[in-house]
Structure 1
Amino acid sequence: MKSSRILTVKVIPRASQNRLEPQPDGAFVARVTAPPVEGAANRAVIRLLAAHLGIAPSRIELVAGAKAHLKRFRVME
């Protein structure tokens, strides 16, 4: 049985650089250069989270907030 966890991420699209900032409460702030158009920023956040966690992007799924700044991602362990 695979376990998973939910990560809360505040996304700031069209940033000057891609950067992931862990917050004291366990959430993240993701600054991505991609615009919020046709899911480009969401895909950029998934790649950024995957690199930070050292896992494949296919193991991360957007579960809430597809069109909002505050998003929730499921990470399959």
Structure 2
Amino acid sequence: AAVVAGARSCTAIGEWATAHGAALLAAAGLTTKVPSESAIRRLFARLDADLVDRVIGAWLFTRTRVVGRRRVIARGCQMVCVR
């Protein structure tokens, strides 16, 4: 969610998690604390980047629709063209 919201670094993702993570955890009924930037960095170091890219790309594709003859995805109040 942080990356889709515009976070482009581990620091930015950590800042996003600090700002929004507690509310998301509470909404999901979870009581664990928000992960730190260093925990997020360690997690990313262990992930298969190609697999994560495919999974997130496939999920994002399910959120697209065709408008006119273009495939778009809504981002906030904006429509973004998907190529």
Q: Given the two structures, how large is their TM-score scaled by the length of structure 1?
A: 0.30
Higher helix share: 2
Q: Given the two structures, how large is their TM-score scaled by the length of structure 2?
A: 0.28
Larger Rg: 2
Q: Which has the higher contact order (CA 8 A, sep 6+)?
A: 1
Higher strand share: 1
